[in-house]
Amino acid sequence: MRTAARCLIAFMMLAWGATASAQGRNETLLVVTESGPNSMDIHGVGANRPAYQASWNIYDRLITYGTKASPDGSRMYDYASLKPELAESWTVAPDGMSVTFKLRRDAKFHDGTPVTAKDVKWSFDRAVTVGGFPTFQMKAGSLEKPAQFEAVDDHTFRVKLLRKDKLTLPDIGVPVPAIYNSTLAKKHATASDPWAMEWLKNNAAAGGAYKLESWKPGQETVYVRFDDWKSGPLPKLKKVIVREVPSAGNRRALLERGDADISFDLPPKDFSEMAKAGKVAVVSHPVENAFAYVGMNVKNPPFNSPKVRQAVAHAIPFEKIFSSAVFERGVALNGNPIAALTHGHELVKTPFKYDIAKARALMAEAGHAKGFETTLSFDQGFATTNEPMAVLVQESLAQIGIKTTINKIPGSNWRNMLLKKEMPIFLNAFGGWLNYPEYFFFWNYHGQNAVFNTSSYQSPEMDKLIDAARFESDPRKYSELVRSFARLAVADLPRVAVYQPLLDVAMQKNVRGYQYWFHRQLDYRQLSKE
């Protein structure tokens, strides 16, 4: 008994005294995150957002984006400048109906196989064929069928265009058209699975700057640098460990104690406090082409009445929401949808002020002087900001006679509810990868009625303006079109833009090279530790 106790004590001392080796920690990045990838293949069914990060760092694309300084001095990607990655150069044919890419001659996949145009064609074919999200995203750049892609010789790849679309080249730089090692992938393809979806879910056939060292789903993903990477300057970090720590409070503690290097996804209140305390660096960037809004169903009464919608817009306590639900981690929009969407367009003047008297008058004009009852829904998955926001809206709407019951919808059911398009009034947000206002409007306001047109808004005039802007090449006419559809969106008011969220990231002060990306994931290649 006594020896056992002594052994135990000796053992405990050993345990507590053990110091992990500090070797190599400066070349290793420890990322903590709420949840990790569910696939290594961005083309896979149901690949989640963390899977985009994995794919972005393991795989190369043909082209990528340059960087620029954002207004506050931090770095961000530059949507207007495309840079070579696997493609050394590219030329657009004189008639504008095809693009020819010249591939790097020295590029290799992780297993040593040289990268050829055949691999590129296989990868593009795969993206437009497998269906679901990748095919959808390719379509956004008018990349629709395998016949468009041609491997001219080993190092020349051509894309034939179906129509002149200014989104085609930018769409080739998003995470979806990643280049797969087709020789390796085909070895794992079967008759029922010609694209090796099953194998590529858990394995990488890639040639990007990082190799997948180990992946324990739900726990940890470890990446090591691919030293033979040729598509850019060799990254500084030799190893990246991504640990899943579900509790936000613990992620904050890990950062403040200096045990973890970097984390996204903390509540806005935490970011706000950490930025003030100054122990760790907090870098924030408004999420491009995105805003959070109060949406109303324009098909069904009572919100089918434009006057009622205007009344609601005047009764939304923009400033209160911004200060006590969002903790100022965003840009206040006060009803102006276009402010969040692009840079360089003349803004539509802020149309709404919080004005209860005016809202009441509008309600009376609409024949609802006595008000009505309805339900206000939101996605519980984002309850941190949604819940206080819903309470503030509820309180304020009560003053103009709209009695609302708050309906919290579990995250797993939210998409389903959006698809049904039956919620009378609700909180939601949308963000698009490609930073073009007509891209945002195409998903959110167009009569094609995508799931993101959450209000079931239909207007032939709006559709005409959006379609025209998409294919307009004259910058002045284009600007006029953008202003017109923005004005129409404010006039018809299917939704009231409330704020543009910030993408916050907290990191140790010795972490360098972070930049904002439209996909809102970390690019390990740019990061280093001092």
Number of chain residues interacting with other proteins (CB under 8 A): 59
Burial class from Cβ neighbours inside 10 Å (0-12, 13-18, 19+) for residue 173 reads buried
- Both tokens of 225, joined, read 């640098």
The answer for 377, left when phi > 0, alpha when psi is -120 to 50, beta otherwise, is beta
When asked if residue 367 is in the footprint of other proteins (CB under 8 A), the reply is no
Q: How far apart are CA 452 and CA 295, in angstroms?
A: 11
- Both tokens of 27, joined, read 């070349």
Q: 152 φ, ψ to 5°?
A: -70, -55
**From candidates 88, 154, 165, 256, binder to other proteins by CB under 8 A:** 256
* Type and span of the H or E element at 497: strand 495-507
The least CB distance from residue 298 to other proteins, in Å, is 20
List the interface residues with other proteins, window 61-90 (CB under 8 A): none
Angle at 476 between CA 470 and CA 479, to 5 degrees: 55
When asked if residue 279 is in the footprint of other proteins (CB under 8 A), the reply is no
When asked if residue 136 is in the footprint of other proteins (CB under 8 A), the reply is yes
x/- map, 215-234, other proteins, by CB under 8 A: -xxxxx--------------
x/- map, 440-479, other proteins, by CB under 8 A: ---x------xxx---------------------------
The least CB distance from residue 19 to other proteins, in Å, is 9
**From candidates 191, 233, 257, 370, binder to other proteins by CB under 8 A:** 257
Q: 317 φ, ψ to 5°?
A: -80, 75
When asked if residue 373 is in the footprint of other proteins (CB under 8 A), the reply is no
In DSSP terms, 75 is beta-bridged to: 69, 515
Question: Residue 17: what residue type?
Answer: G
**From candidates 26, 27, 28, 83, binder to other proteins by CB under 8 A:** 28
Q: How far apart are CA 29 and CA 25, in angstroms?
A: 7
Window of 12-20, 280-288, 290-298, 509-517 that interacts with other proteins by CB under 8 A:
12-20
In DSSP terms, 511 is beta-bridged to: 529
- Both tokens of 317, joined, read 């306590």
DSSP code for 338: G
Q: First and final CA of the chain: distance in angstroms?
A: 51
131 vs 301 by CB, closer to other proteins: 131
Question: Residue 178: what residue type?
Answer: A
**From candidates 128, 254, 311, 527, binder to other proteins by CB under 8 A:** 254
Q: How far apart are CA 317 and CA 327, in angstroms?
A: 14
When asked if residue 132 is in the footprint of other proteins (CB under 8 A), the reply is yes
When asked if residue 144 is in the footprint of other proteins (CB under 8 A), the reply is no
Q: How far apart are CA 44 and CA 373, in angstroms?
A: 43
List the interface residues with other proteins, window 162-201 (CB under 8 A): 201
When asked if residue 294 is in the footprint of other proteins (CB under 8 A), the reply is no
18 vs 191 by CB, closer to other proteins: 18
Whether 479 contacts 468, CB under 8 Å: no
Q: Which residue has the tokens 């740019």?
A: 526
The least CB distance from residue 218 to other proteins, in Å, is 5
The least CB distance from residue 402 to other proteins, in Å, is 26
Binding site for other proteins (CB under 8 A): 11-12, 14-18, 20-21, 25, 28, 30, 32, 35, 38-39, 44-48, 131-133, 136-137, 201-202, 216-220, 241, 243-247, 249-250, 253-254, 256-257, 259-260, 381, 410-413, 415-416, 419, 443, 450-452
